[in-house]
Amino acid sequence: MKATKNPKKQFSFGDYVLWFPKGNKSHLRKFIRKWFGLYRVQYVLPNNIVLLVTIKKFETNHGLVNVNKLKPYKYMESEVQNQEQQMLIYWEQSAGGI
């Protein structure tokens, strides 16, 4: 049995990920970032597809993304709590303006 280099990626609702856009040629340049994010997995669909949302505005700018273009984001717990607090403040302010 042949061992695979990369095991099948599994993501679930609420996971934080970084995204590598299709056709990104940044690997040709040394100091340009390759991974973009921070995004949160909103929905997990069949065939290794997920729906990503931005952390700050909860928007789905990138739509559906294959998990092959994602990698898990490693974070400190306090960093995530700070971002979630900022997101709650944003939603409270936007709901109050309606």
Q: In what order do the strands lie in the sheet with 70-72?
A: 64-66, 49-54, 36-45, 16-19, 70-72
- pTM of whole model > 0.85? no
Q: How far apart are CA 50 and CA 31, in angstroms?
A: 29
Do the domain assignments include residue 81? yes
For the stretch 15-50, pLDDT in tens is 889 888 876 565 556 666 778 888 889 889 999 899
Question: What CATH number did the domain enclosing 64 receive?
Answer: 2.30.30
Do the domain assignments include residue 58? yes
Domain total of the chain: 1
pLDDT of residue 74: 80
For the stretch 50-81, pLDDT in tens is 998 887 776 666 678 888 989 998 876 666 66
pLDDT of residue 1: 47
DSSP designation for 55: T
Sign of the Cα torsion 40, 45, 46, 47 reads negative
Do the domain assignments include residue 3? no
